[in-house]
Amino acid sequence: MRRLSIADSNFLLAENRETPMHVGALNVYTLPKGVSQRRYLKELLSILRRDDPLLPPFGERLAPGLLAKTGLVQHWMPDEHMDMEYHVRHAALPEPGRYRELFALASRLHSALLDRNRPLWVMYVIEGLKKRQFATYFKVHHCAIDGTRGVHLMQSMLSDSPEGHVDYSPLSLQAWETYKHKIGNESEAEAPSPKDLKAVAEALREQLGVTADVLGGLRRYGQVWLGMGGRLAAPWHRVPHGLLTQKISGSRRLVADSWPFERVHAVSKALDATLNDVVLAMCAGALIRYYAAQGEPLDRPLKALAPISVRTGGDIDSANAIGFIITSLATDVPDPERRLRAIQASMQAGKALYASLSPEAATLFTAVAFSPMLLTNFLGTADWFPAYNLVISNVPGPKQPMYWNGAALDGIYPMNIVVHGQAMSITLVSYAGNLDFGIVACRRSVPRVQRMLGFLEEALTELETVAGTRAA
């Protein structure tokens, strides 16, 4: 059996009926020209349901036992009764087969808890879209995967050529090993040299400094509460209550759309900001408009949690290797350029904190700093003491067009987690010249969330005007 890390186990501890802790992706494809849809999807389902050895933990379940029931000690064990027919499902949309019906189906599927007595994933192949399109909805528990590894998994089944063809499951060991070899992560085991042994000794000495690094990071957060943190934002510090900090139900709503990468990149280049800074400013501008449309006052700047990768170079095997920056969205600043600069400064302060930590210390710091959020979830007080208002996550994806056995991948719409006190999440994946946004919210407590899509466009246009990049 393999033990889950503290970071992975936290996602299990935080889960209940109202707050499922799985992430998902809704991918849309166009069938190859001249092929029969029925024959193509039948072959695809046959491939997905093959009885191949699966990449851990997709062929594993959580081990039962007293310690596992407490949630404090969790292990993976092989599932001896793996049922691929259960995990790979076939669905069809009702007429007229628009994206509206697709997003409604994905919303319902994303609302249901995964069965902890089975491996923690399911995939749906969805037919019935117009224009010879089909979709896949894949969800997996966050204890098993983060966004970066999810993109790697997706790429392991795709090809950059419409002529490419695979006849094994994308979750199989064969797919993963083939992919790792392709991107150059495969290495041969060798006997340790004296230089290697010295490196091990140095690594052991570095472990002694991990605790000091974590305490130093927590001290920085403490300074924020004392008014000495500069631009650094800290969880729970002056987080505004209101629309997004309510208790939520288990129902979800997905809305999604795509924006040209070049539009956002042009703004970032003109204003000397990162692409992610501009994305956060887009979201801030959209949220200001959304709050105004709902008649909700914004007396303090909204705070967002922005996940960042703390993976070491070449690591694509870790389930979760993420850190969390709390950033101000400066929604109290009317001027869009000044708002962008405030967001930029807040993000730079958060990155500086993580830059002072080793990868090991960063992982432990994240687990320790955000552990009170688990407690507030358990006590049902997360809406009283929200750590932040929402998650905004930016995941790099493939730059070139990709194909799955000849079917062109048209879009990747990510679906993240929402919890009590953070009733909306915004996730985007960059893919083939586009930024594909997926917004997930509690359907009952966050009304008319589809308006966020129009507000994102208005916010980007506003930034383009400031940057002088708006097309005539």
Q: Give residue 9's pLDDT.
A: 82
Q: Give residue 190's pLDDT.
A: 40
Q: Of these residues, 87, 110, 142, 420, which one is catalytic? A: 142
pTM higher than 0.75: yes
Residue type (1 letter), 445: S
Q: Which token pair is 469?
A: 């990049």
Q: Give residue 80's pLDDT.
A: 93
Residues written for the chain: 472
The rounded distance, in Å, linking the Cα atoms of 240 and 236 is: 9
Q: Give residue 189's pLDDT.
A: 38
The rounded distance, in Å, linking the Cα atoms of 343 and 138 is: 33
For residue range 154-204, list pLDDT tens digits in order.
888 899 999 999 888 888 998 888 888 777 644 433 444 444 434 434 443
Of residues 69 and 145, more confidence is placed in: 145
The rounded distance, in Å, linking the Cα atoms of 291 and 370 is: 27
Least confident of 22-31, 37-46, 194-203, 413-422: 194-203
For residue range 282-341, list pLDDT tens digits in order.
999 999 999 999 999 888 999 998 877 654 445 444 444 567 788 999 999 999 999 999
The rounded distance, in Å, linking the Cα atoms of 70 and 54 is: 28
Q: Give residue 86's pLDDT.
A: 97
The rounded distance, in Å, linking the Cα atoms of 472 and 468 is: 10
Q: Give residue 59's pLDDT.
A: 95
Q: What is the CA radius of gyration of the chain?
A: 22
Residue type (1 letter), 264: V
**Res. 365 pLDDT band, cuts 50 70 90:** low
Do 110 and 28 contact (CB within 8 A), yes or no?
no
C-alpha 357: how far from its chain's center?
A: 23
Which of 466, 215, 231, 212 lies closest to 338, judged by CA? Answer: 466
- By CB atoms closer than 10 A (0-12, 13-18, 19+), residue 70 is exposed
| Domains of the chain, each with CATH number or no CATH | 2-182 (3.30.559.10), 198-399+410-467 (3.30.559.30)
Q: Give residue 215's pLDDT.
A: 53
Identify the sign of the CA torsion 270, 276, 282, 285. Answer: negative
Q: Is 87 a catalytic residue?
A: no
Least confident of 224-228, 270-274, 385-389: 224-228
Helices (H) and strands (E) in the chain, counts: 15, 15
Q: Which token pair is 139?
A: 């969800």
- Give the mean pLDDT of 388-399: 92
- Give the mean pLDDT of 375-388: 75
Q: Is the pLDDT of residue 362 over 70?
A: no
Which of 447, 455, 389 lies closest to 420, judged by CA? Answer: 389
The rounded distance, in Å, linking the Cα atoms of 362 and 387 is: 19
Mean of pLDDT over the chain: 84
First to last CA, the chain: 61
| Sheet containing 133-141: order of strands | 88-92, 121-127, 133-141, 22-30, 407-415, 403-404
Q: Which token pair is 232?
A: 């650094």
Percent of the chain with pLDDT over 90: 58
Instruction: Report the relative pairing of strands 403-404 and 407-415 from DSSP bridges.
Output: antiparallel
For residue range 410-451, list pLDDT tens digits in order.
999 999 999 999 999 999 999 999 999 999 999 999 999 999
Q: Which token pair is 93?
A: 């949309």
The rounded distance, in Å, linking the Cα atoms of 297 and 286 is: 14
DSSP of 408-457: EEEEEEEE---BTTB-EEEEEEEETTEEEEEEEEETTTSTTTTHHHHHHH
Least confident of 100-104, 226-230, 247-251, 346-350: 226-230
**Res. 153 pLDDT band, cuts 50 70 90:** confident
Q: Give the position of tokens 């499902």.
A: 89
**Res. 471 pLDDT band, cuts 50 70 90:** confident
Q: Give residue 192's pLDDT.
A: 41
- Torsion region of 402: left, alpha or beta (phi above 0 gives left; psi -120 to 50 gives alpha): beta
**How many CB atoms neighbour CB 68 within 10 A?**
18
Least confident of 141-150, 229-238, 369-378: 369-378
The rounded distance, in Å, linking the Cα atoms of 115 and 401 is: 34
Q: Give residue 150's pLDDT.
A: 75
102-111, 193-202, 231-240 — most confident range: 102-111
